[in-house]
Structure 1
């Protein structure tokens, strides 16, 4: 990617909007509020601002760490004691801002602070010449200082035009070596702290998909899914966004055909709690600029 003034301005615009909408949306997370209503209202804030979602709003509760969003007709409600990860992506002309915070409806303040402090510690060392392994080491050390575990198999990620997961990968644990950070790189750092095992596994439920191949489909329901997916230019979409009936049949057909990639909900062990914090940043000559702060 070539980082010129136009691209830089698009990243900054996406970041400013993502910051504003994330905090407004997080304010809707209250005991007794409906998850579907919160998600749809927050997603609408992005389109009302003239931007486009980079991915469906992720709202993951308690031991769930990522890839959850409202289901069609979702009747779930936020409850006392919930720990709610709100993860928002906004794109302007394909240039993405990805940011997240954790809303505490219980007594999880120390766990929330662990991921937030790890994010700030990581940002503080970003500059050209360091390695992604060094960033991971700072994240792990900070979370462990708070007496929690980092989630080892979740990472931050590079951001490119219409590409939500490009190089470099930013680990949440110490690693030897890794990619060398260079001026002009754009990536999201997203530490996860957990009271559980420190590893997430895939749940059966899938709400988010991504088109990864451009082949035709025969089933009417599959064709309808692709009508939703194609304008996304490879960015993820929600099952909830696809109109009509037999949507699940179309989705399964396209996954089996290798046209769609599913993103199952990721969770730690039952009864555990996971917190998340995330910012997008652009690497500068002597540090970085956080676009979502």
Structure 2
């Protein structure tokens, strides 16, 4: 890995760590979800980075892929469990980190403890040549030992420049025949999810996050939609984005209509919110690890 890339990853990790720590202290019942997420994204920019994806906030049974829309009026409820997932990039080099805050007075303390310990133990197994399945086995064993379930269809992933999910998955459950090993000069997110529910997430109807997938399709587009597509290419490359980041390009109605159209036509990938199948409480903790050429494992967000 080139020295400039290493420096950028470490800087992205430093910013992500600081923003997540500051954001965690702001979470309280009644807080505007929209104002919170916009604060997180603006704080990343203030510190010299760029959001690698929209601030994700998952309340209780919402596991992932929720970010507020421009007209979102929701607030953080009392007696809830709140997940914050933050991504930062510096020149396309990404750090991804997440935490969970219990606003229930400790009702779900053991669930959070289980997932936090699963992350800590899993990180100790990461080294060059280690199997992804070793991490999966550790996560499943620890979370299950507390009486909870790892979320089977969520997990960690490889990371590459301008790609939050770079093609390799690190499941939260042990799959003995699963392939994949940790390689030098590569970057990975280790991301256990645990729940008191079914241990599976399903897609909801709401979509607030998209990414560019096939920018060069030959399709006829109206002028507004074509302009939005060009702005997406220019501003975000292949990184996930949300309508809020395009508010200066078109009206809310135009944005939503065009983003849905671009998704249907194959230009964009959409990310529906993911909810726990039995509406169980979900907890999440995450760090990004970078494996240097010499084999040293660096937790960029710790």
* TM-score (normalised: structure 1): 0.95
Distance 1:221 1:273, change over 3 A: farther
Q: Who is 2:228 aligned against?
A: 225
1:91 partner SS = strand
2:150 is aligned with 1:143: no
1:11 partner SS = helix
Q: Who is 1:122 aligned against?
A: 122
Contact 2:198/2:278 (CA < 8 Å) preserved in 1? Answer: no
2:18 is aligned with 1:4: no
Deviations 1:16-49 (A, max 9, x none): 0100011111222111111111111111001111
1:267 partner SS = strand
The CA deviation at 1:242 is: 2.2
* TM-score (normalised: structure 2): 0.92
Deviations 1:50-73 (A, max 9, x none): 211100000011111100011212
Q: Who is 1:250 aligned against?
A: 258
Give, in whole Å, the separation in 2 of the partners of 1:249 and 1:167: 29
2:98 is aligned with 1:89: no
2:207 partner SS = strand
The CA deviation at 1:181 is: 1.6
Contact 1:221/1:249 (CA < 8 Å) preserved in 2? Answer: no
Q: Who is 1:171 aligned against?
A: 171
The CA deviation at 1:287 is: 5.1
1:56 partner SS = coil
Which moves more between the two structures, 223-232 or 128-137? Answer: 223-232
1:282 partner SS = strand
Contact 2:119/2:285 (CA < 8 Å) preserved in 1? Answer: yes
What number of residue pairs does the alignment pair up? 291
Which moves more between the two structures, 176-185 or 245-254? Answer: 176-185
Task: Kindly report structure 1 stretches of 4+ aligned residues shifted beyond 4 Å.
Answer: 284-287
2:290 is aligned with 1:292: no
Which moves more between the two structures, 21-30 or 144-153? Answer: 21-30
**Mapping for residues 1-293 of structure 1, pairs under 5 Å:** 3-106=1-104, 107-176=107-176, 177-215=178-216, 218-230=221-233, 231-243=235-247, 244-245=250-251, 246-284=254-292, 285=294, 288-293=297-302
2:10 partner SS = helix
The CA deviation at 1:221 is: 3.6
Give, in whole Å, the separation in 1 of the partners of 2:267 and 2:121: 39
Distance 1:28 1:270, change over 3 A: farther
Aligned CA RMSD, in angstroms, stands at 1.4
1:73 partner SS = coil
